[in-house]
Structure 1
Amino acid sequence: MKAIDLFAGFGGFSTGAKMAGVPVVWAANHWPDAVHWHSVNHPETQHACQDLQQANWAQVPAHDLLLASPCCQGHSKARGKTSGNPEHDASRSTAWAVVSAAEYHKPDFALIENVPEFMQWQLYTAWEAAMNALGYSLAPHIVDAADLGVPQNRVRLFLVASRSKSPLKLNLPKLDHVAASSFIDWEGGRWSAINKPGRAAATLERIANGRKQYGDRFVMSYYGNTKSGRCPGRPIGTITTRDRWAVIDGGCMRMLSADENLAAMSFPDWIQRPKNHRLTVHMAGNAVAPLAAMHLINAIKEAA
């Protein structure tokens, strides 16, 4: 089995495919930084930096599995159309590149990742009908990455498209949850005093509430509507494209490091990353969790 990776980003899908023993022969993204680091980590893959809606699919190698993670921001509750972001009208249309690629190559399988709200898209019915017209049956799987061994609660939609009469329901494992403490370096990082001038009152309130529940060591979302912390003995919450999670230890705190963000996403140790913290966090939060991808791809291989 060979795969291609559309909207490859930092390479979560491609890394998961490699872990599953499936070579990714071609990968593309419109973001030069992402393409560069994908090529560093996957030098055996042919790369393209382009708008995939303008792709020449005749130049793409033959493959059995199409992996795709179209832009999700236009569908998410936090950043979608109802939040007043008209540019996301264009981002939602990236899903049509999947149809275009599938029409040309007709691989046996496609695995499409997005937020669950993707299926509430006004044009989803038309998109599904287009895939059906190409001979694909679609099976939606709502998956929490924590159930597949990722130390993070990350709920995502994985659509399995198969050239079969009936939708292909994958037999996925249900693994024990991995604690956030498994990747937190309590001795490392750049710590600062919690009680320092300028610390927001809402932050101090969250920390006080967290201490009442979890003691001196816990993690906490630095923004959002949360009122407390989170036990480090359970998976961390969703990793996003900007610094979100703070680590609390006694009277000190710090944000997760770039390496901790990658570990929370289940990227293996051999992955190379940019030195820039913000860029790494952005690419990590935008990726597919590799360990989840590996289990999904293995399940497709078993069903093939």
Structure 2
Amino acid sequence: MKAIDLFAGAGGFSTGATMAGAQVVWAANHWPLAVECHAANHPSAAHVCQDLHQANWQTVPAHDLLLASPCCQGHSKARGKSSGNPQHDASRSTAWGVVSAAEFHRPAAFVVENVPEFLDWALYPAWEAAMKALGYSLVPHVIDAADHGVPQNRVRMFLVGTRSKAPLKLTLQPREHVPALSFVDFEAGNWSNIHRPSRALATLGRIANGRSSHGSRFLTAYYGNEKGGRCLSRPIGTITTRDRWAIVDGDHMRMLSAQECRAAMGFPADYRLPKQHRSAVHLLGNAVCPPVARDVISAVMAAI
């Protein structure tokens, strides 16, 4: 089965599709660094760097499966949805690229990944109606990556569309949870003393709460809802586009490395990332977890 990947980013969807046995023949993203990263890991696919609102779908190879991860920031609770924010309005509009591609090629199936709040978008009913007008039946699946062997609690919505009268409701078998300890390397990285003059009081408070609950080794978040640390025997919380998680070991701490973030997302250990830490983390935080994509795409391929 041949697949294309819209808003391909680091290539999590493409990697999962490859794991499932599909052939990714084309991928696109507007960010040159993302296209460079994707091409380094998926060299057999054709690559395009452009705004997909302006795509010429005639140049895209024929395919059976359309994969797409439209921009989620305009929907996400983590980033907020400020009324009248033009940046958020523009980001939400990227989803119409999926309609445009599907109208031209009419693949047998599509899978769209986004935050669950995508379904609450004011224009989602119109978007859904457009896809139905093209002959697709749609059903959303809200999935935690931890249930698919990823050492991370990451809840995302996978919207499956098929050219069939009845929507394709997938039955996905949960996998055993993998702890964060599986990817943390206590012998690597640049550690610093917890108690130093520049350390924020809020950070020290989180660490104190974490130590009282989890002992001397645990994870702590620099922002978000984690106030008391996170045990290493459970999956880590969501990997985001900027450094969020620190490892505490006794009186020392450090941020997760890009390699640890890669493992926390479920990418293969040899997956090539940008050399700059900040860019690598940004790409990973926006990515689809490959094992989740693998399981969803495998189920779709088996059913169509």
The alignment's TM-score, normalised by the length of structure 2, stands at: 0.98
| Rounded Cα–Cα distance in structure 1 between residues aligned with 2:189 and 2:229 | 19
- In the TM superposition, 1:208-287 aligns within 5 A as 208-287=208-287
Map of 2:116 onto structure 1 = 116
Offset of residue 223 of structure 1: 1.4
* CA distances 1:151-207 after superposition (whole Å, capped 9, x unpaired): 000000000000000110012110111000000001111100001112111111111
After superposition, what is the alpha-carbon deviation per residue over 1:264-288, rounded to whole angstroms, capped at 9, x for unaligned?
Answer: 0001022111110000000000000
2-side partners of 1:80 and 1:120: how far apart?
A: 13
Aligned residues: CA RMSD: 1.0
CA contact (8 A) 1:170 1:300 kept: yes
- SS of the residue corresponding to residue 248 of structure 2 reads strand
**Unaligned segments of structure 2, at least 5 residues:** none
SS of residue matched to 2:82: helix
Q: Which amino acid aligns with 1:185?
A: D
Distance 1:8 1:173 in 2: 26
| Equivalence map 1:55-134=2 (5 Å) | 55-82=55-82, 85-134=85-134
Conservation of the 8 A alpha-carbon contact between 2:153 and 2:235: yes
**Partner residue, 2:9:** 9
Cα drift, residue 69 of structure 1:
0.1
Letter in 2 for 1:240: T
Distance 2:225 2:85 in 1: 21
| Aligned counterparts of 1:225 and 1:85: Cα–Cα separation in 2 | 24
Q: Separation in 2 of the partners of 1:80 and 1:221?
A: 19
Taking the aligned partners of 2:78 and 2:84, their CA distance within structure 1 comes to 10
Matched pairs, number:
304
Structure 1: which 5+ residue stretches go unaligned?
Answer: none
Q: Match for residue 301 of structure 2?
A: 301
For residue 150 of structure 2, what is the aligned residue in structure 1? 150
SS in 2 for 1:81: coil
The answer as to whether partners of 1:81 and 1:89 remain within 8 angstroms in 2 is: no
- Aligned equivalents of 1:33 and 1:227: distance in 2? 34
Task: For residue 83 of structure 1, report the CA deviation from its aligned partner.
Answer: 7.1
- Could you list the structure 1 runs, at least 4 aligned residues long, displaced by more than 6 angstroms after superposition: none
- Measured in 1, the distance between the counterparts of 2:85 and 2:223 equals 20
Partners of 1:109 and 1:237 lie apart in 2 by 31
Aligned twin of 1:181: 181
State the TM-score, normalized to the length of structure 1: 0.98
Query: How far apart are residue 80 of structure 1 and its match?
Result: 3.6
TM-superposed CA distance for 1:222, in Å, is: 1.1
Name the CA distance, whole Å, in 2 between partners of 1:182 and 1:228.
21
Whole-angstrom distance in 1 between the partners of 2:105 and 2:225: 45
State how far apart, in whole Å, the 2-side matches of 1:92 and 1:146 are: 27
Aligned-residue sequence identity (percent) comes to 68
1:32-83 C-alpha deviation (Å, 9 max, x unpaired) = 0000111111100000001101101010000000000000000011224327
Q: Which residue of 2 aligns with 1:193?
A: 193
- Residues 73 and 79, structure 1, Cα contact 8 Å, conserved in 2: yes
